[in-house]
């Protein structure tokens, strides 16, 4: 089994009757172990719904999603939560952090939830991640005392605490300026090079251009797919152009 995620004919509807919205209209997608996949598409095209479906965060209406060999919809909520907590990491546009905890304590929360008793060990792990993401020295800061870019780095540290096999990121650079966004993307590339698969939702062609493969969504379907060579770090412009050309070709 080379796939970490296998989604087949995924359908997701919201609401009933006249109000019903089909957010995913029979989507089939595979993510290989260690692969970096970006999802691009207009607002409302189903990107976030796809991320929620593939991560088991949301129940699907039809079709199937497997994590390795495990069919997510067949799991009880506890077992599903366990997989999400121990094998998956999540990063959103705005990291939700607890206001009454400092940055370090926010980062170690998932490890505490996982039941690790050795707080010295988890603190050490968190500090190593903070160093790696360039926010060493901010451990004791209140979450209101750091910049948006620093808070997002902390969000990434938190997502990596349990060493996930896949990182799900929904518009992780959406609230950041270009410089911070570039730095965060550089970080995601390194995390991927170290073996973590990534599913990244973005509406920014430059952001998507770092991936191994870009999926383009429109009206709840994947309408096109663009495989790219492994990112070398110096081919950014050409990659961005390829993504933009494909967007134009499919009309998004
Ligand atoms: P994207 O992330 O590409 O902007 P979404 O996946 O959030 O799009 O949404 C896809 C469609 O599903 C949209 O029409 C949206 O309004 C609808 N939708 C998403 N979440 C819900 C929800 N919880 N209830 C009702 N409709 C929803
Ligand atoms: Mg979205």
The phi, psi pair for 102, rounded to 5°, reads -75, 180
State whether the beta carbon of 49 lies less than 6 angstroms from ligand 1: yes
Ligand 1 contact via 150 beta carbon (within 6 Å): no
Cβ neighbourhood burial of 18 (10 Å; 0-12, 13-18, 19+): exposed
Return the domain boundaries, the chain: 3-250
| The pLDDT of residue 116 | 66
Ligand nearest to the CA of 217: 1
Residue 42 in this model has a pLDDT that exceeds 70: yes
Instruction: Report how far ligand 1's centroid is from the alpha carbon of 49 (Å).
Output: 6
Q: Computed from CA positions of residues 104, 118, 162, 183, in that sequence, does the dihedral angle turn out positive or negative? A: positive
Burial 34-72 (b: 16+ CB within 10 A, else e): bbbbbbbbeeebbbbbbbbbbbbebebeebebbbeeeeb
What pLDDT, in 10s, does the model give residues 181-210? 999 999 999 999 999 999 999 989 999 999
Share of the chain above pLDDT 70, in %: 98
Confidence band of 239 (pLDDT split at 50, 70, 90): very high
Residue 59 backbone phi and psi in degrees, to 5: -70, 140
Other CB atoms within 10 A of residue 28 CB: 13
CATH level 2 (architecture), domain 3-250: 3-Layer(aba) Sandwich (3.40)
Per-residue pLDDT tens over the stretch 99-154: 999 999 999 988 877 666 778 889 999 999 999 999 999 999 999 999 999 999 99
Look up the pTM and report it: 0.96
Query: Helix axis angle, 103-114 relative to 119-132, nearest 10°?
Result: 130
């Amino acid at each position: 089994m080379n796939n970490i995620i296998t989604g087949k004919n995924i359908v997701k509807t919201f609401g009933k009757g006249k109000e019903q919205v089909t957010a995913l209209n029979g989507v089939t997608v595979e993510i290989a172990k260690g692969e970096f996949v970006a999802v691009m598409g207009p607002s409302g095209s189903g990107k976030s719904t796809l991320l929620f479906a593939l991560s088991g965060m949301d129940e699907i209406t039809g079709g199937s999603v497997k994590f390795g060999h495990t069919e997510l919809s067949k799991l009880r909520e506890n077992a599903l939560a366990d997989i999400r907590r121990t094998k998956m990491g999540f990063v959103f546009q705005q990291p939700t952090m607890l206001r009454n905890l400092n940055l370090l304590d926010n980062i170690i929360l998932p490890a505490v939830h996982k039941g690790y008793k050795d707080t010295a060990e988890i603190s050490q792990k968190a500090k190593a991640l903070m160093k790696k993401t360039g926010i060493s020295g901010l451990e004791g800061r209140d979450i209101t005392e750091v910049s948006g870019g620093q808070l997002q780095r902390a969000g990434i540290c938190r997502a990596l605490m349990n060493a996930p096999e896949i990182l799900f990121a929904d518009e992780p650079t959406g609230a950041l300026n270009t410089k911070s966004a570039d730095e965060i993307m550089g970080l995601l590339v390194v995390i991927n090079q170290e073996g973590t698969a990534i599913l990244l939702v973005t509406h920014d062609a430059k952001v998507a251009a770092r991936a191994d493969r870009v999926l383009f969504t429109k009206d709840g379907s994947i309408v096109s797919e663009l495989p790219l060579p492994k990112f070398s770090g110096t081919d950014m412009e050409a990659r961005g152009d390829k993504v933009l050309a494909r967007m134009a070709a499919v009309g998004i």
